[in-house]
């Protein structure tokens, strides 16, 4: 080491500045010739401008493609007639022909659940000897949130 170096106070900011200069020169060497290599052009362009691209036509057309990606995902659709709580003692006594009383009333709309979340209500219909449900009320997102908070 030279004696002039020992007389100078060590400034940690000089170390950071030299490391940043090395990184900038190494990055400039890797950038293709079409990109500006001067430090003034690099300083004038914010980093966000090179990382984030503007949302143009891709955003509008990307939405349609994203919806198509999820259309084949299976979900569990359940129609619930009603519920009840039964002690284990009574549950063990159930046999063929036993009747279990539910909390739902006759003629009351059935709940339609998707993956356990209420999304609609409807009434039972029979078509070609098969049961179905006719949706009479779709639960809005705000109603779903209100029911989740209860």
* Mean pLDDT, all residues of the chain: 75
Q: Please state the rounded mean pLDDT for residues 68-73.
A: 86
- 126 touches 120 (CB < 8 A): no
Q: Which residue has the tokens 């400039």?
A: 28
- 140 touches 119 (CB < 8 A): no
pLDDT digits over 80-114, tens only?
888 899 999 999 999 999 999 888 888 888 999 99
pLDDT digits over 119-146, tens only?
999 998 888 888 889 999 999 988 888 8
| Residue 65, pLDDT above cutoff 60 | yes
pLDDT given at position 51:
65
């Amino acid at each position: 080491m030279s004696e002039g170096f020992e007389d100078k106070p060590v400034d940690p900011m000089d170390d950071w500045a030299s490391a940043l200069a090395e990184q900038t020169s190494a990055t400039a060497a890797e950038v293709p010739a079409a990109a500006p290599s001067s430090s003034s052009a690099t300083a004038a362009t914010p980093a966000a401008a090179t990382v984030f691209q503007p949302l143009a036509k891709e955003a509008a057309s990307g939405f349609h493609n994203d919806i198509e990606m999820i259309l084949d995902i299976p979900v569990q659709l359940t129609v619930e007639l009603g519920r009840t709580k039964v002690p284990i003692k009574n549950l063990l006594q159930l046999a063929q022909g036993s009747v279990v009383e539910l909390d739902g009333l006759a003629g009351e709309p059935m709940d339609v659940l998707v993956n356990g979340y209420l999304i609609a209500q409807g009434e039972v219909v029979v078509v070609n000897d098969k049961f179905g449900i006719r949706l009479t009320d779709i639960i809005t997102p705000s109603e779903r949130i209100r029911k989740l908070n209860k």
